[in-house]
Amino acid sequence: MSFRLPRFPMLTIFHNPTSKVSIEALRLLKRASVNHDFKVDLVQTKSEAPTHQQIANIVDYLGNGSIPTGAQLILDPEAPVKASTVAEVQKILDAHPQYLRKPLIVDWNKGKAIIADPPTKVKEIVKDVGESE
């Protein structure tokens, strides 16, 4: 007999604690977690980028399958370097983790990611957390 542990819904927020937009997005996400019954995984990314696998997934999620689009969206618009591939994004973020655009919210189970700027975009990703696909 085998069993599968239930997956408790969780959203990860890559957060900048000095950004008003990121602070507000985190506040809205925490409030929504009570009503939608999910956990918030808080990652403060001032000096460390996500792993290479996480970056590859996020680029795919942000671009809805379009790697060039996701590669542009994951990097801060102020970054002096642009990317169009996952490898380029990984190289940039390895050298300059501060170029990761935040607040970035990821639903790993659903394969979705958003940049929560403005913070009201939090509503888009929390509306179906935990629902079966």
Number of compact structural domains in the chain: 1
Q: What are phi and psi of 78, to 5 degrees?
A: -80, -10
In angstroms, the CA 12 to CA 105 distance is: 6
Q: Is residue 133 part of a domain?
A: no
Domain that holds residue 81: 10-126
- pLDDT at residue 9, rounded to an integer: 86
- pLDDT at residue 115, rounded to an integer: 97
- pLDDT at residue 37, rounded to an integer: 87
Q: Is residue 1 part of a domain?
A: no
Q: Is residue 131 part of a domain?
A: no
pLDDT one-digit tens code per residue, 96-105: 998 999 999 9
pLDDT one-digit tens code per residue, 39-65: 999 998 776 678 999 999 999 999 999
CATH number of the domain where residue 106 is located: 3.40.30.10
Q: Is residue 25 part of a domain?
A: yes
Q: How confident is the model at residue 35 (pLDDT cuts 50, 70, 90)?
A: confident
List, in order, residues 6 or more apart from 82 with CB less than 8 Å away: 72, 75
Mean pLDDT for all residues in the chain: 89
Say whether pLDDT at 26 is over 80.
Answer: yes
Q: Is residue 87 part of a domain?
A: yes
- pLDDT at residue 33, rounded to an integer: 92
Q: Which residues in the chain belong to E strands, given as ranges?
A: 10-15, 39-44, 104-107, 112-115
Q: How confident is the model at residue 7 (pLDDT cuts 50, 70, 90)?
A: low
The residue among 100, 8, 12, 86 whose CA lies nearest residue 53 is 86
More confident residue, 127 or 69: 69
